[in-house]
């Protein structure tokens, strides 16, 4: 079962002052157990889809050559041998080696969106809403970005920060790419793993509108 809930976010400016509020309505799970299940299922799906499963070894039937019997069955004094591609031979096949495998798991779009809404609701007290975060700098500068984060009461050294914008600004991207604990994504790239990892969220008001519209 699901329920509708309203969240009122204060909008914070670059000097950490409140300049209004923004309201969104989310459809979330009505029980903690159901919410945890939806998030776990979506996370498992995302992690499995990232696995390549390319490890592959050849069995004796797949190794090239070895069709002719190396020597006759009897009379040589040597052990019997039927093929040079036997796993006992150098250059032969591999016994019980890894084979390529697909790890993908299916999840319905509605289930995935429900998991994202549950996480957004769960992170509501760790979320900062700002106006035009994309436009806070007009040239690439990691130093300025660190200063702006500090003004918002955040530290990229002590916590993992997820910044969600409607559309990535090139200057902002260049400024953030050297900070290992800061991740920049667009609202359409919202995913379970990034939300779970984040200790703090910074969401642009336009991105928040996109999220409310897309995942309603």
pLDDT at site 151: 86
Q: Which domains does the chain have, with CATH numbers?
A: 2-51+107-214 (3.40.1370.10), 53-102 (no CATH)
Three-state SS string across 27-60, please? EEECCHHHHHHHHHHHHHHHHHHHCCCCCCCCCC
Query: How far apart are alpha carbons 60 and 102 in whole angstroms?
Result: 23
**Neighbour order of strands in the sheet with 161-165:** 18-29, 2-12, 127-130, 200-204, 161-165, 182-186
The rounded radius of gyration (Å) of the Cα atoms in the chain is 27
pTM for this prediction: 0.81
pLDDT at site 21: 87
- What are the structure tokens assigned to 57, written together? 């070894």
- Per-10-residue mean pLDDT of the chain, 216 residues long, equals 87 80 87 91 93 91 89 93 92 92 89 92 91 82 89 86 91 90 92 93 90 83
φ, ψ for residue 99, nearest 5 deg: -120, 150
Measuring CA to CA, how many Å separate 71 from each of 23, 74, 78, 80, 100? 82, 9, 9, 8, 34
Sole residue written with tokens 């359409």 = 188
pLDDT at site 118: 93
The C-alpha angle 3, 197, 140, rounded to 5 degrees, equals 115
Quick check: helix, strand or coil at residue 179? coil
């Amino acid at each position: 079962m699901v329920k509708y809930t309203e969240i009122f976010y204060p909008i914070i400016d670059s000097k950490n002052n409140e300049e209004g509020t923004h309201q969104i309505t989310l459809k979330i799970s009505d029980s903690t157990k159901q919410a945890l299940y939806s998030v776990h299922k979506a996370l498992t799906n995302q992690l499995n889809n990232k696995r390549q499963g390319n490890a592959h070894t050849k069995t004796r039937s797949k190794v090239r050559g070895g069709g002719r019997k190396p020597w006759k069955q009897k009379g040589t004094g040597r052990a019997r041998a039927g093929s040079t591609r036997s796993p006992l031979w150098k250059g032969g096949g591999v016994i019980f080696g890894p084979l390529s495998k697909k790890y993908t798991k299916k999840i319905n779009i509605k289930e995935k969106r429900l998991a994202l809404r549950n996480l957004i609701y769960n992170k509501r007290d760790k979320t900062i809403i700002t106006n035009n975060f994309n436009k806070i700098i007009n040239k690439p500068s990691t130093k300025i970005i660190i200063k702006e984060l500090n003004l918002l009461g955040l530290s990229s050294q002590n916590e993992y920060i997820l910044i969600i914008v409607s559309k990535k600004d090139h200057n902002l991207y260049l400024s953030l790419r050297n900070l290992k604990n800061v991740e920049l994504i667009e609202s359409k790239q919202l995913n379970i793993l990034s939300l779970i990892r984040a200790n703090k969220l910074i969401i642009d008001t336009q991105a928040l509108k996109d999220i409310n519209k897309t995942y309603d």
